[in-house]
Amino acid sequence: MLLRHSPDDPIAITAWHRLDGRLTSSGQPDAEQMALLAPLGVTHVINLALPSHEKSLPDEAGLLAAAGIGYTNIPVDFAAPQEADYARFCEVMERLEGQTIHVHCILNLRVSAFLYRWGQDRQGASEAEARQDLERLWRPGGAWARFIGRAEDAAAEHRYPERDYVFVESGGTQAGLDRQTGLSAARTESR
């Protein structure tokens, strides 16, 4: 599913990914970075982060409305993702079909897990294709492993490229959360 960046993509946004011509994902953009979405043709933003998170923007909905971009917040508790959260995400994605959508959370971890499932369930992606996009950022353990249907990994800790494994994209490029965000994987556990 993941495409190379287009020349206009705001790759300075934490963990920015372009999945296709109408779907991008990232960690939390700041207010200046939010302004870069409208020129890309983004018509709607879905935020999976809790509005109470310290990195969340105080009035993200208002900021986006001023730019003519729709907004949906589906607050997903990082410690306990729910099937109801995923069902709501799928409903919103179906309602927005044909629009240009940007999906974000704090570090693109929640989003990558949701898109892993959605790609297979709704877009016909193979598990290997969906896993490639997911493992650019992490290999979920615990509740997130169960959430994505990988019960065999539920007893494991979350694992991250560069810290716990080497991830090489099909084109040979190495990727990882540390490389993209400058954050240590150890600091992401509560995100």
Whole-number pLDDT of residue 172: 56
Q: Which residues pair with 174 in a beta bridge?
A: 168
- Give per-residue pLDDT as tens, 46-69: 999 999 999 999 999 999 999 999
For domain 17-188, give the CATH number. Answer: 3.90.190.10
Whole-number pLDDT of residue 107: 96
Tokens of residue 61, six digits: 């909905």
Whole-number pLDDT of residue 167: 84
Question: For residues 8 and 40, what is the distance between their CA atoms, to the nearest angstrom?
Answer: 7
Q: Which of 165, 142, 167, 137 is nearest to 152 (CA)?
A: 142
Whole-number pLDDT of residue 120: 95
State which residues of the chain have pLDDT below 70.
Answer: 1-4, 170-191
Global pTM value: 0.87
Classify strands 23-26 and 101-104 as parallel, antiparallel or unpaired: parallel
- Give per-residue pLDDT as tens, 80-111: 999 999 999 999 999 999 999 999 999 999 99
